[in-house]
Amino acid sequence: MSNTACYALSDWGTTRFRLWLVDGKGHVLAEKRSDDGLDTSRNRGFTQTLEGHLSALGAPADLPVIICGMAGSRQGWVEAKYVPVPADLKAILSGAVKIEGIARDVRIIPGLSQSGTSPNVMRGEETQLLGAILDRNLSNGIIAMPGTHSKWVTLKEGRAKSFSTYLTGELYALLASQSILRHSIGDAATAASPDHLQFKAAVDLMLSGERMLGGLFGIRAAMLLDNLSPEGAASRLSGLLIGAEIAGAKAKSGSRNNVILVASGAMAALYSKALHIADLDFDLVDADEAVRKGLFVAASSIWPAKG
């Protein structure tokens, strides 16, 4: 399989590692996913970790590797300094940093930073962003990338103009498992079947201008007074957080159109529903495909002869 591989692409984050071998057209030939995030990899050695996974996929010794994500942070393998916005996304391609002192050609894509009164940073999402924009041939619009730290980017004339980060996913996990709400939610935090009514009511409440901080305890009270179910409580929490995120982003962008939602699976379903409730038109781009496309474009740009 690996005899036709042109590049190895990797999304290397804080808690997870993903690797794909692709051919000259970006088609996936082999794939590996593991929990070898930054902390694990730092202890074992980044080179050893990467070579182990490449070897498991049968990658040749001279296959070049392009990486995005927290591996390029100060606490990562090698720091790939942020590219400041407003930024042409081609700048993240030319800013890729080569790892010195190893035989293989390995490069890490830099993140984006925003200075001024709303300081912000991203690492990994810039590559997803690049893939999504190229996929839709987009020059203007809003790109939403939900997750642990959801990113909303404003694209203007082909340049990333500004962006915001919402702590939605991280706060959901903390509140569901460690706050007083854990008594109401329990094991339903990752329930497969959301309670649509509770979710919608919570999103609507946030869109009406209410504060999420004031809505959270209502979940506990509704369990005590109205026997709200664990699934209902989980959906209400999810609706409050996603609703607050979308209300914030909507107020900031002022835009009613041209939202590109970059998400997969259950996340894509939840955010699609919330965007509908918020009366925002959107297109859905698969998050996995977007990051692979961004990585592949970066690789093709750095090593064009391989294509």
Task: Give the number of residues in contact with its own copies, rule: CB under 8 A.
Answer: 45
Lookup: tokens for 72: 């390029």
Q: Using the rule CB under 8 A, is 166 a contact of its own copies? A: yes
The span from the CA of 92 to the CA of 289, in Å, is 19
Contact 151, 114 (CB under 8 A): no
CB of residue 148 to its own copies, shortest distance in Å: 8
3-state secondary structure 276-297: HHCCCCEEEECHHHHHHHHHHH
Among residues 23, 79, 170, 286, which is the contact residue for its own copies, using CB under 8 A? Answer: 170
Q: Using the rule CB under 8 A, is 68 a contact of its own copies? A: no
Cα distance between the two ends of the chain: 17
CB of residue 7 to its own copies, shortest distance in Å: 30
Residues 90-109 that bind its own copies (CB under 8 A): none
CB of residue 229 to its own copies, shortest distance in Å: 14
Contact 268, 293 (CB under 8 A): no
Q: Using the rule CB under 8 A, is 220 a contact of its own copies? A: yes
Q: Using the rule CB under 8 A, is 138 a contact of its own copies? A: no
Q: Using the rule CB under 8 A, is 179 a contact of its own copies? A: yes
Instruction: Tell me the residue ranges of DSSP E strands in the chain.
Output: 7-12, 17-22, 28-34, 65-68, 83-84, 87-88, 97-98, 106-108, 112-114, 120-122, 141-145, 150-156, 159-166, 259-262, 282-285
C-beta of 214 vs 265, nearer to its own copies = 214
* Side chain identity, residue 230: P
The span from the CA of 239 to the CA of 237, in Å, is 5
Contact range with its own copies by CB under 8 A, out of 49-57, 241-249, 286-294, 297-305: 241-249
Among residues 1, 102, 167, 266, which is the contact residue for its own copies, using CB under 8 A? Answer: 167
Q: Using the rule CB under 8 A, is 209 a contact of its own copies? A: yes
C-beta of 12 vs 166, nearer to its own copies = 166
68: closest CA among 265, 307, 286, 288? 288
Q: Could you give the string, one character per residue 7-46, with x where binding to its own copies holds by CB under 8 A and - elsewhere?
A: ----------------------------------------
CB of residue 89 to its own copies, shortest distance in Å: 20
Kindly report the number of other CB atoms within 10 A of residue 1's CB atom: 11
CB of residue 174 to its own copies, shortest distance in Å: 5
- Computed on alpha carbons and rounded to an integer, the radius of gyration of the chain in Å comes to 20
Q: Using the rule CB under 8 A, is 126 a contact of its own copies? A: no
